[in-house]
């Protein structure tokens, strides 16, 4: 009788304590306040847990997920109405809004903008743990690392390029060192002409003086096309002379996930001769 009682009452408690000690808490109703985090949930196959997103989370909007925030403004009332047990946010989210959410007893997990591909992978695995998809996250990261290493090794046998990676058009903003987007350049065995800058806003004079061998423009649609035409007019630029001015999908290149990072660097590698 005593053995039966032990099994019935103490074993479940024992396993609950073990899982808690191992940090195995998973969440069932998630609001994402960043497109990259929303994208990561989809890559992990955890989109069914998503109950709220921003108006920039395109894939989630197509699935009719409730929009609870814009890029800069959170609708707390609407967020509370979807009853999340976890809110995912980036460092750019309003600190006061996040603190308000916490006061309602909702877990808020803040991610900082990753500074490298390695940090992207670490954050992705941590997110996988939160949604019960750790094995899937580790597999995606492992596959991504293999692809990146193949490209990195392959580039060592090809020409070395001085590169300018532009984000946006007005103003022109350069990819800076110590950011995950700078890893696109270094992993391709390239040199960032903005490697000594502390601030990203630059003029065309800076790019002309740096004379890069290739220019990548992270932009979309007509804006990107027009910007490429402008750079190609500068005949003294090595990148323009060689017609090595390329448009990169900003939604892909600027999203810090292992999969989009690989997609971006594969595209860049294919453009370079």
Kindly tell me if the per-residue pLDDT of 120 is higher than 60: yes
Kindly tell me if the per-residue pLDDT of 4 is higher than 70: no
In this predicted structure, what is the pLDDT of residue 129?
95
In this predicted structure, what is the pLDDT of residue 24?
52
H or E segment and range at residue 225? helix 221-232
pLDDT mean over 179-203:
96
Helices 180-187, 117-130: crossing angle, 10 deg rounding: 130
Picking from 212, 211, 218, 270, the residue whose alpha carbon sits closest to that of residue 247 is 218
Distances (CA, A) of 71 to 35, 36, 94: 9, 12, 11
The answer to whether 59 touches 65, Cβ cutoff 8 Å, is: no
The answer to whether 223 touches 194, Cβ cutoff 8 Å, is: no
pLDDT in tens, 213-228: 999 999 878 899 999 9
In this predicted structure, what is the pLDDT of residue 92?
66
Kindly tell me if the per-residue pLDDT of 195 is higher than 60: yes
Kindly tell me if the per-residue pLDDT of 12 is higher than 70: no
pLDDT range class, residue 47, cuts 50, 70, 90: very high
The answer to whether 108 touches 89, Cβ cutoff 8 Å, is: yes
pLDDT in tens, 48-71: 999 999 999 999 999 999 999 987
Express as a percent the part of the chain with pLDDT over 70: 90
pLDDT in tens, 100-115: 999 999 999 999 999 9
- Mind listing the domains of the chain with CATH numbers? 30-136 (3.40.50.1980), 153-271 (3.40.50.1980)
How many angstroms separate the CA atoms of 49 and 51, rounded?
6
Residue with tokens 């890029």: 71
In this predicted structure, what is the pLDDT of residue 95?
86
In this predicted structure, what is the pLDDT of residue 252?
95
pLDDT in tens, 237-261: 999 999 999 999 999 999 999 999 9
Cβ neighbors of 162 (< 8 A, separation 6 or more) are: 190, 191, 193, 210, 211, 212, 213, 214, 238
pLDDT in tens, 130-165: 999 999 999 999 999 999 999 999 999 899 999 999
3-state secondary structure of 161: coil
In this predicted structure, what is the pLDDT of residue 93?
72
């Amino acid at each position: 009788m005593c053995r039966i009682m032990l099994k019935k009452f103490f074993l479940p408690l024992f396993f609950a304590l073990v899982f808690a000690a191992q940090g195995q808490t998973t969440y069932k109703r998630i609001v994402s306040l960043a497109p990259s985090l929303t994208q990561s949930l989809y890559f992990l196959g955890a989109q069914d847990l998503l109950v709220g997103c921003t108006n920039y989370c395109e894939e989630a909007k197509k699935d009719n997920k409730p929009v609870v925030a814009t890029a800069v403004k959170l609708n707390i009332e609407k967020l509370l109405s979807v009853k999340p047990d976890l809110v995912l946010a980036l460092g750019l989210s309003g600190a006061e809004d996040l603190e308000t959410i916490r006061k309602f007893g909702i877990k808020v997990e803040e991610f900082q903008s990753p500074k490298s591909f390695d940090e992207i992978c670490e954050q992705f695995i941590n997110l996988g743990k939160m949604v019960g998809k750790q094995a899937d996250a580790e597999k995606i990261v492992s596959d991504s690392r293999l692809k990146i290493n193949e490209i990195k090794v392959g580039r060592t046998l090809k020409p070395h390029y001085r590169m300018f990676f532009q984000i946006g058009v007005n103003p022109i903003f350069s990819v800076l060192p110590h950011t995950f987007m700078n890893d696109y350049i270094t992993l391709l065995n390239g040199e960032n002409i903005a490697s000594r800058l502390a601030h990203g806003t630059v003029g065309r004079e800076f790019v002309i003086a740096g004379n890069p061998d290739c220019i990548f423009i992270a932009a979309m649609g007509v804006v990107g096309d027009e910007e490429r035409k402008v750079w190609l007019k500068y005949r003294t630029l090595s990148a323009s002379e060689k017609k090595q001015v390329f448009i990169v999908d900003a939604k892909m290149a600027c999203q810090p996930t292992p999969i989009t990072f690989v997609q971006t660097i594969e595209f860049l590698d294919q453009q370079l001769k």
